[in-house]
Amino acid sequence: MANILIADDDGHIREVVRYALEKAGYRVLEAADGAEALGVIEDKAVDLVVLDIIMPGEDGLQVCRQVAAKGDVPVIFLTSRDEEVDRVLGLELGADDYVTKPFSPRELVARVGAVLRRTSRTRDGDDSVLSLGRLELDVERHRCRWDGSEVDLTVTEFAVLRTLLAMPGKVYTRVELVDRAYGHDHHVTERTIDSHIRRIRKKLGDAGADDPIETVHGLGYRMRV
């Protein structure tokens, strides 16, 4: 039974989300602002965070940045802003998915389940370690290293990189990467995958890597061999 943290300054939304998640069999923790959310994550075993973007004090984007830096806890954003740039900004900061307000509690529960399944797949795959040159993915432990240095990836970033690394040299279209990272029943834009690729490249670059991911214009992406 997974522990889900709902962080939102609107008590009514927390109540609705709690009811839906508990009905689906999850344990639910609550936080009314960003600072409280970070405290809960620090003190409790949290498996996923449902995080409102607009909160007093530290907003959801600031909280997400700190959570993503550790790379352990997936994040689903709740946003009242429907512009694509806002959703992509959240993904750039390390969120794994987003739901736009007003939302269906059933849809949110489905998104929570999908992200948790991706977490499980990345940790329980057939190949326990994938490597290419100085890049290594330990699937069982959900760890990424470049030349021995730890690289913190979100659940979705890990799924995208794992897909590319499983067959170096193979070109994956953006649609294929969406299917592998999110599942066939999920609808995200191709720009979302581009956002994840940018973040992966930046994190690997910060660890000292030359860009190991090649853009194949008009097709998609592949690992350089």
pLDDT tens, position by position, 10-68: 999 999 999 999 999 999 999 999 999 999 998 888 999 999 988 888 888 888 888 87
Question: How confident is the model at residue 129, as a pLDDT?
Answer: 83
Determine the CATH number of domain 3-122.
3.40.50.2300
Partners of residue 133 on adjacent β-strands: none
pLDDT beyond 90 at 94: no
Sign (positive or negative) of CA dihedral 69, 72, 74, 79: negative
Residue 88 or 74, more confident: 74
User: How do the domains of the chain map onto residue ranges?
Assistant: 3-122, 126-223
Determine the CATH number of domain 126-223.
1.10.10.10
Question: How confident is the model at residue 166, as a pLDDT?
Answer: 85
Backbone angles phi, psi at 47, to 5 degrees: -95, -20
pLDDT beyond 80 at 212: yes
Decide whether 3-122 matches 126-223 in CATH topology: no
Question: How confident is the model at residue 183, as a pLDDT?
Answer: 65
Q: What is the pTM of this model?
A: 0.61
Whether 161 and 198 have beta carbons less than 8 Å apart is answered as no
Neighbours of 207 (CB within 10 A): 18
Rounded to an integer, the average pLDDT of 136-159 is: 87
